[in-house]
Structures are given as structure tokens and as C-alpha cells.
Structure 1
């Protein structure tokens, strides 16, 4: 199984000017809209997915602005601990998420500081920074396809309108292939699954190279795992 991640961040800042001589402080919290979407896929198909909020158990982290701006690694551990354990990601993904939060916060603070310095407003402040995280974890499941020999052994034939088929024919008045959704017309070359469902020969061969289930009734063919 292959696991990969997507990250979307939005930082919201509320700035309070401090007049008591205190140093500038950044207060980080997780925004309540933050979500974690877990998705399991097989090939190009979504097998299942689950979305949860990730605010439960989150902590408030306060850091000194000057130290935060001078060293990228100073508060990595503190911000990592702010992210609740309910966000089920590995240490590498958590580290990447923390670095992204730090870099975006530093850029926002830098732009704000430069703007205020240009306008002659320089002072200590409290940054209340709410981090909205939308994390995606995608699990790419191993694809199980039908054994080559079982595909070769499919009974092939052609469709004969309104006529009882023999060993190499199938009686169909009007139907469509459940894979490509195109009509199976008279004299079309088809293949029949052991469950007796009929498809275009090319369609079912391609289908079984990716999945071992009948696309109609989920009948299981002998499998090989990639």
C-alpha cells in the first residue's frame, strides 16, 4: 500500500497592540474548521473515504516573535505538539506540515512588520494566529487483477439477435456493455464471464487487468496482486 499526503493551510491573524512593554508574542491555535480527509483508492476508483475534524486535543502554543523569526527550528517541537494526535499521519508528514505552518506564519509576520515600519507604526503586539488545516491522506491500495489464464479462458463469441446461440453465440435482443455503456449490437464480438454476464471482449479483458470482480454482480475471478 502506498500512502501520500496533500496539505492546504490558511492562517488567520488577529493583532492586538501591547502597551505594557511586553515582548511581541505569537499565539498559535488550530482553527475549528480544520479537517482530515482519508481516502482509500484502488486504481482510478475511490474505494472509501472518511472526513473528520482535527481540533480535539489541540493545544495553544505561545512563542516569542523575535526568536520565532530568527530560527526556523526553534519552535518546531512546540508547534508539532499543538497538532492533535487524532490527525493520523506519520512523522515525516507531520514534520512537513509543521514547516509549512512556520514558513507561512513567518512570511505573514514579515509582510505585516514591513508594512507597519513603512507607515511609521512600530510596537509590540500579540499575534493571535489561527491555523486552518485541511489535510488529506490518500491510501493507494494494491490492485488485484484476474489471473491471465482465467481471462484467456473466458468463453468468447458473438451476439446473435433473437436467435438461440450455440457454443459461440449469445441470444440478446438489446443490451449495453456495463463497462463502456455502449450498445452490444448484432454480430458484436463478446466474452462471457463464469457468472454469465456478457461484455464487449476488449472491455472485459481491460477491466479484468485492473479488477478481479465482475462489474455487474461482483463475482470474483482468481487473482494476482500487483
Structure 2
């Protein structure tokens, strides 16, 4: 096996160092971008959930329950959410973006735990391979609800479930990763080419010239 020249060794070492440094920088940058995108999408989803919750609660407070069903269907049809379900305290579906579930017992086991804890719940899951954020909100009996509900007899009126697709977050994260990868590879290639040219012009060509000048007097003697 032919022994590597000094030029080849220097080139390999420099390229390896570049790959390590730029690879580490690309990984850190990709992680930071993904984290930032995730936080932005989560905050947007939280604001959307809060807005929809307030809107639905106001409709119920004003006794305009007949507007709930068309609103849930419209929100889902516009792609703002994947699912909206409203159940009463007896775990019966009262309104849902899926009409077939209305007036049927809620099959979701999370409702019972939600009513026992009286604490809103948010978690991430996957549906058909697509990341989804699911929010469960307790509809408690408030002073404004006395028009339709007994203030003393009922503490929990029901619950609200909202499922929001995080597909946009997944797509943005993937796009960010590939963009960083492409930019890193291009940067490495440009730096390697620049270093090869510089070391040839400033190091190896002068050394070659010196070597030739040393050989010429020796041949002359």
C-alpha cells in the first residue's frame, strides 16, 4: 500500500476537522430552529384553543346552543382543528364536528378522568402517522350559567375536546433540517476547495520550488 504524502495527510486532517466542526454547528442550529418552530406552533395552537373555547362558552352562556353544532363543523371544515366534541356531565356527546357521534355516549375514556381531576389536560399523540395535539377542557358551572343550570346542584356541566393537527410543525421541522443539511454540505465543499487552493499556492508550491532549487545545485556538482 502506497504511503500517503504529506499533502494528502494535511488535506485529510483539515477536511475531517471541518466536517466535525460544521457538523456539530449544523446539528445545534437544527435543534435550535426545531425548538423555536415547535414553541411558535405550540403557542399558536394554545391561543387558537383558548379563542375557540371562549367562543363556545359564550354561545352556551347566552343560551344559543343551536349555533354550536354548525360552528364546530365550520371550524373543522376550515382546517383550524381536526375534531371538536362537547359532552355533558353524563358523558353524552351533545355537539361534535362528527355528526354521527351526537346524542351518543362518549367512548373516550379520558372524559371520566377529566371530570374527576377537574383539571384541563393537553397531550400529544399520533393519528394515522400525523402528530396531533389533544386538549380537554372542563366546562364548570359558573355564575353566568345560572340561566340554564342550577348553581348548587351542578359543579361540572361537561367538557370540551379539541384535536389540532401538528402536521405543519412536522413539515416545518423537516424542511429546516434538510435546509441546514444542504447549506452545511455546500459550506464544507466551498471551504475544502478554498483550503486546497490556498495550501497549494502558499504551502506546497513554494515547498516544491524550494525542493527544486536544492536539487539543482546538487546536480550541478
TM-score (norm 1): 0.29
User: Which has a greater percent of helix?
Assistant: 2
Higher relative contact order (CA 8 A, sep 6+): 1
| Greater Rg over alpha carbons, structure | 2
